[in-house]
Amino acid sequence: MLNPFSKLSNIGFLKHKSDSFLGLDIGSSSIKVVQLKKKNGVVILETYGELSLGPYANIEAGRATNLSSAQLSEAITNLLKEANVTTKECGVSIPLKSSLVFNIQLPTMDKKQLEQMIPIEARKYIPVPISEVDLDWKVIPKEEMAVTSFMGEENSNKREEVPKTEVLVAAIHRDTVLKQKEIVSGAGLSLNFLEIEIFSTIRTAVSHNILNFAVLDMGSGSTKLYIIEKGMIKDSHSISRGSQDITLNIARATGISATDAEQQKIKVGVSGNTPTEKEVSDIVYSSMEYIFGEVNKTFLAYQKKYNKNVDKLVITGGGSIINGMTEFAKSHTEVEVEISDPFSKVEAPAFLAPLLKQVGPGFAVALGLALRGLQQME
């Protein structure tokens, strides 16, 4: 359902040699891994771990970095050891900022004609030569057989119904693909597939069969909002404010280190009581207001365009684990709200449950990759 792309997602496919699979999420501020295996039809969590990249760039943990392939390979190697990862088989994320996902509409035609027309139409959306990207697409299932279009000439008021086909298109720059391959190879892993993080996130976002829902992915550098219909991305929006922005604002305002500011952001969140906590919570609150203002604008635009409502908002990503997030979100949007609990999809020791629920939103991408890897092994 949530993996529409075959060419992009199977780059470098290798035959599995293990019954375990590793999801590897390479972010700008940290790397996360999740290793799963399937036994008697049950998905089991074998290990997971996170490593901050700041120290590899000689800056504080939690800060965004721009490391070389060799440095990232070194960091991954260290994390694999710390987390006791035992498999080499992995799927790796592609950041949304390094990819392009969009919808296009074309007149309905046969498959062969679509294959010829989609790359031509996609050029209008891609800011680099089409020869520099890996391109893939999937036709979005229709709710109606035709879309009304006005085809009359100046002297005619005739209306004709012209069948339309909506297509979800994804593009990844080939330099990005080559870099990810280089990083993974340098860490001694076997790359089974690359997947744009949006699809990994959605795979872990909802536990119920909801037709229309939205995912708010609060990352370090930015916040991404996806609207999903029947398992397909209908709309996406990037909000230029992320978790790290909040942390750095707290550090500047209070004079504490970024590491301490990160801890305060999570602990205090939007629910400060003492004067010191109030200063922190006011900063967090202001940023959250901006983010949810953008969320509501996107929901309204979606409602006007498609005459539909979003049924539920699922919040995920490392920035979602701040204190008071659920209550804040419920008071600032008119839809049902849920904080993602990705690890609820796997079996793990009971004593880990509280911790996994707390940190789970930050591991949505890594877990989604691992789940897909297990599915492909069957």
Query: Residue 308: which CATH number?
Result: 3.30.420.40
Q: Does any domain span residue 34?
A: no
Q: Does any domain span residue 370?
A: no
Q: Does any domain span residue 272?
A: yes
* Per-residue tokens: 174: 């080939």
| Phi and psi at residue 131, to the nearest 5° | -70, -15
Q: Which helix (H) or strand (E) holds 94?
A: strand 89-94
* Rounded Cα–Cα distance for residues 61 and 220 (Å): 12
Q: Does any domain span residue 253?
A: yes
> Is the pTM of the predicted complex or chain greater than 0.95?
no
* Rounded Cα–Cα distance for residues 235 and 375 (Å): 26
Q: Tens digit of pLDDT per residue, the chain (378 long)?
A: 334 343 343 333 333 456 899 999 998 889 999 999 999 889 999 999 999 998 999 888 777 888 999 999 999 999 999 999 999 999 999 987 788 888 888 888 788 888 888 888 888 888 888 888 888 888 877 653 333 333 334 444 544 566 788 888 888 889 999 999 999 999 999 999 999 888 898 888 765 666 789 999 998 888 999 898 877 788 888 888 888 889 999 999 999 988 888 889 999 988 878 888 899 999 999 999 999 999 999 999 999 988 988 989 999 988 888 999 999 999 999 899 999 999 999 999 999 999 999 999 999 999 999 999 999 987
* Rounded Cα–Cα distance for residues 365 and 344 (Å): 14
Q: Does any domain span residue 137?
A: no
* Total domains present in the chain: 1
Q: Which of 280, 139, 291, 108 is nearest to 214 (CA)?
A: 291
Show the domain range for 213: 208-340
Q: Does any domain span residue 376?
A: no
